[in-house]
Structure 1
Amino acid sequence: MNTGLWIEIGTLLVATVGVVGGLLALRQANRQRRLDLGGLYLQRYWEIDDDLLRLPKGSPEHTRARHRYLRLCEDEFEAARRGWLEPDQWNVWHAWLAEDAARAQVDVDLIACKAPVDRFLLLRECSSVSAQHSWKECPARVRVG
């Protein structure tokens, strides 16, 4: 083989390694972005949970904290539908939200907050299923609109 062919093969190998390395870095950056967003949701959850424990039940402030919790859940559903959350993390969160007790509490919160029927649609879709279900089976996952 001549020198020119070896240079072409070497260039192709270097370019291939560079592209693969770039794709791996991009994949890792996307995963980190999803984990960071999940961390923000966890922080918001604990702030709201602290408020729910601290504020007098039935007070307007407590009702506002319940509304913030509903909004957080709805935001998480939307982020999960768009692929913005790490799937393993979201599957754990969704499994908890899909439990009977959690779904019942969501229904109580929706009533307590006097949430209009056109609000929290994804959360309502998930809550409407009569049995615990996975994210793959969740009607909120495939909701159009």
Structure 2
Amino acid sequence: MSPESLIAIITALIALAAYVTSSISAARARVKTIEDAYVARYWQILDRFPSEALVAEQGRSLDSEDERVVRLYLRLCEDELELRQLGWVSGQTWEQWRSGITAALEQWPVVQEWEPIKEGRRAPNQFELLRKLSTGVQQDPFQPTGLAHITRRWRQL
């Protein structure tokens, strides 16, 4: 093998390694960008919660604006579950979100809106993923499916 061929092979391997590394970094950056956008959305909604909810106190009955804010929160949670299934939420972030969502579903004011939805008396064709989460399944039923193993690894799913 000539020195030029060896240099060409080494150059090609270095280029391939650089491409793989940049692809992994780009995939992780996309996941992080999506997660950050949903965290920002979470704080925007939480800022509109009744003040009693911010210190985990049982509050008054909800007015229509409070109900709207809680429903926006529930929609956010459903969207987060869908993102997890689609492979756009990392495993580490999902563990934090899952524990926060399950805790919120049991606290005022969320529980007040969630109970009729959970029981199917309100919005029976919506919030299917949230209902699934509330069944208390310990494993991750929202683990992304349909993605190649390497894609899941790259995105840290």
TM above 0.5, one fold?
A: yes
Q: Which structure 1 residue ranges, 5 or more long, are not aligned? A: none
The alpha-carbon deviation at position 138 of structure 1 amounts to: 3.3
Provide the C-alpha distance between the structure 2 equivalents of 1:83 and 1:142, rounded to a whole number of angstroms: 5
Provide the C-alpha distance between the structure 2 equivalents of 1:34 and 1:41, rounded to a whole number of angstroms: 11
Distance 1:84-1:67 versus aligned 2 partners, 3 A rule: same
Provide the C-alpha distance between the structure 1 equivalents of 2:36 and 2:87, rounded to a whole number of angstroms: 15
TM-score if structure 1 supplies the norm length? 0.78
Aligned to 1:122: 129
Using CA pairs below 8 Å that are at least 6 residues apart, which structure has the higher relative contact order? 2
Distance 1:93-1:11 versus aligned 2 partners, 3 A rule: same
Whether the 8 Å contact between 2:35 and 2:89 is mirrored in structure 1 is yes
CA offset digits 1:109-143 (Å, max 9, x no partner): 224676412211111101012x7x3xxx1334479
The alpha-carbon deviation at position 97 of structure 1 amounts to: 2.6
TM-score if structure 2 supplies the norm length? 0.72
Aligned to 1:138: 140
CA offset digits 1:58-83 (Å, max 9, x no partner): 11111111111011001111111111
Provide the C-alpha distance between the structure 1 equivalents of 2:36 and 2:144, rounded to a whole number of angstroms: 25
Distance 1:141-1:126 versus aligned 2 partners, 3 A rule: farther
Provide the C-alpha distance between the structure 2 equivalents of 1:142 and 1:15, rounded to a whole number of angstroms: 33
Paired AA for residue 42 in structure 1: V
**DSSP-derived class of the 2:74 partner:** helix
CA offset digits 1:74-99 (Å, max 9, x no partner): 1111111111122211222113334x
Whether the 8 Å contact between 1:107 and 1:127 is mirrored in structure 2 is no
Provide the C-alpha distance between the structure 2 equivalents of 1:122 and 1:107, rounded to a whole number of angstroms: 16
- How many equivalent pairs are there? 133
Whether the 8 Å contact between 1:63 and 1:112 is mirrored in structure 2 is no
> Which residues in structure 2 correspond to 1:8-87 (within 5 Å)?
8-53=5-50, 58-87=62-91
The alpha-carbon deviation at position 104 of structure 1 amounts to: 2.5
Distance 1:139-1:115 versus aligned 2 partners, 3 A rule: farther
Runs of 4+ aligned residues of structure 1 deviating over 4 Å after TM superposition are 54-57, 140-143
